[in-house]
Amino acid sequence: MTEERLDNLTRRDFVKATVAFSAAASVAGGARGLNAKATQRPNILYLMTDQHRWDCLGCAGNKVIKTPHLDSIAKDGVVFSNAYSSTPSCTCARSALLTGLSPWRHGMLGYGRIAPQYPFELPQALRDAGYYTFGIGKMHWYPQKKTRGYHGTLVDESGRVATKGFISDYRKWFKEQAPDLNPDATGVGWNSYHVKTYVLPEKLHPTHWTGKTAVDFIEKYDKSEPFLLKVSFARPHSPYDPPKRFMEMYRQDDMLAPVVGDWAQRYADVRKPAPASTWHGDLGVAQAKASRRGYYGSISFIDEQIGRILAMLKKRGMYDNTLIVFTADHGDMLGDHHLWRKTYAYEGSAGIPMLLRWPKAFGHDTQRGTTRTEVVELRDVLPTFLDAAQIAIPDHIDGKSMLRPVRGDKRPWHRYIDMEHAMCYNKDHFNALTDGRYKYIYYAYDGREELFDLADDPGETRNLAGDSASSKTLKHWRNEMIGFFAERGERFVRDGKLTLRKKKLLYSPLFPKKAQSS
């Protein structure tokens, strides 16, 4: 899609498309593949966490972590086992969720300030189609209280103040509940690998506030229109600070040791003592396990809150007619390959959970409780919601509805997912492609290549780029990358070869420079 076409797509165009689609769907009598009984548009519950690895769910095969309520969503829906965040840091990942676009097309190639407005955004699209839209928790937008089509938001921004005088709704509530206490009293930083049990009463923790606020919304909801409810937890992103009972749920010795590739020595060195917010370094197995214990406890705390949300849906008789998606903006390396935090192409950073549960009336019950291997990405969330709500999916959207494979739709799926991240902690700007089996990574600063066979080596411990037996596979994926870059011009491909890029490129030419008018 050209930039001109993207800019010219307005909400007026969207409403026209919706009206036309609704009429066609009525005539067709549900020919789009949904059960004919699914005449009532569903509520949409949009659950997400921050910095949550793909493998930290029981339903993902993790035998240590305790996530019974998230597992129940998987049992009543599907797990997508090859789910990714294309640009695995907070703001750019949230741009994909907002727009349904790939990194080059939404314009954010790394961590920066999100665009003030895109011409087509998820909450406004659902609102224009008659949904009541509300967001709770971490949005990580700019300005921080911009609603982007939500009828309202109640935000927790993890202490972040991006505009003068901003105070999050969580911190206002905290001040009312505990005027003499400090919400940051636990004393662990936002990007620290350190772990500490939450020192304040559990009910004051932001995870509890987010869950309680969502439960209250559902309990009191009395509108005739269906809702889109986004519930966005700020954890398990550090600080790893679960309340005592969740910390004590796990033993440090039970945590898995980090995996370390035969290529990862370049990241092992670290200044001693290691800065709390270090992005790399061999901090030892004991530290990695300690960090994971706090991380697991934070996830189980979130799981309990999600259990309360699901219980209230069932109490109100809403559960059967609610579409649920659970995902995260990106993962957390937790010491794998001597790396910490995110922004990397590796599974710990770019691999995310993706659970989809659809309403009872949609049918396809034989699919419930199964695992799907199609490669999916955050760009697929928006079209999934449009599809479930019986709204036409605009042609400019890069994502695809994840309901399609559930229905047995035989149309072509993503051949691969493209991933990238601009220079952040170091000079690496990576570009990557994965089809869920192989992952090819190209580093533009120095031309390094990595190739992993995820079926044979899910921990990405062996770089096959230097293996003569894998030369044909490497050439195939290099050529795929060259073809993928074709639209970007000579800065990326010259004379049929991948170029070196020494300067940081944070935004693509398609990034909206100014707020779009409605």
Which residues does 95 contact at the CB level (< 8 Å), separation at least 6? 87, 101, 106, 107, 108, 114, 115, 118
Residue-wise DSSP of 397-427: -----THHHHHT--S---S-EEEEE-SSSSS
Q: Which helix (H) or strand (E) holds 73?
A: helix 68-75
Q: Do the Cβ atoms of 229 and 274 come closer than 8 Å?
A: no
Strands 227-236 and 132-137: parallel
**Residues tagged active-site:** 90, 140
Residue 374 parent element (H or E): strand 370-377
Question: How is residue 470 annotated by DSSP?
Answer: G
Q: Strands, E, within 53-177: which ranges?
A: 78-84, 132-137, 152-155
Kindly give the residue spans of alpha helices, DSSP state H, lying in 329-388. Answer: 347-350, 381-388
**Closest among 326, 389, 404 to 74, alpha carbons compared:** 326
The answer to whether 322 touches 251, Cβ cutoff 8 Å, is: no
Beta-strand runs (E) in 165-247? 227-236
Task: Give 361's DSSP letter.
Answer: G
| Residue 266 DSSP class | G
Q: Which amino acid belongs to residue 100?
A: G
Burial of 316 (0-12, 13-18, 19+ CB in 10 A): middle
Q: For residues 455 and 415, what is the distance between their CA atoms, to the nearest angstrom? A: 17
DSSP state of 55: T
**CA 109 to CA 89: how far, in whole Å?**
10
Distances (CA, A) of 95 to 85, 249, 467: 11, 35, 37
HEC string of 322-340 equals EEEEEEECCCCCCCHHHEC
195 Cβ neighbours under 8 A, 6+ residues apart: 188, 240, 241, 290, 291, 293, 294
- For residues 118 and 343, give the distance between their C-alpha atoms in angstroms, rounded to a whole number: 23
